[in-house]
Amino acid sequence: MEANNIKVLERSPASQKLRETDARVLLKSANKLIIAKGKKVTEFTLGERIPKEAVLAMLGPTGNLRAPTLRVGKNLVVGFNEEAYGSVFG
């Protein structure tokens, strides 16, 4: 992040396990969710109702929030994909 002049405001240690309820809290403050799994990128436009499939897409096989998870303004990005990051960070 620092190599691209992106200022990190908050970090959570890997020992802090974030679950489905934490994912829902993050989604309440977002307008757009971008899920990156390898080369596959899925986008959700969020409104008042949070789709169950959006929450499930944020979680890994253990039920924990996938990493990295970034909040950029009203956008939430879960997972890593260079193109997805480019669309958010411009």
Asked if the structure places residue 7 within a domain, the reply is no
Query: Is residue 6 predicted with pLDDT exceeding 90?
Result: no
Q: What is the Cα–Cα distance from 60 to 35, expressed in whole angstroms?
A: 12
**pTM, whole model, 2 decimals?**
0.86
Q: Are 79 and 39 in contact (CB under 8 A)?
A: no
Structural domain count of the chain: 1
Cα separation, 10 vs 56, whole angstroms: 23
Confidence band for 1, pLDDT divided at 50, 70 and 90 = low
**What are the start-end ranges of the E strands in 1-90?**
32-37, 40-45, 69-72, 75-78
Domain assignment of residue 67, given as a range: 18-89
pLDDT of residue 4: 59
Average the pLDDT over 21-50 and give the result. Answer: 93
In angstroms, the CA 77 to CA 36 distance is 8
On whether residue 2 sits in a domain, the answer given is: no
Please give the residue that has the higher pLDDT: either 2 or 65. Answer: 65
**Is 8 inside a domain boundary?**
no
pLDDT at residue 12, as a whole number = 80
Position 66 in a domain: yes
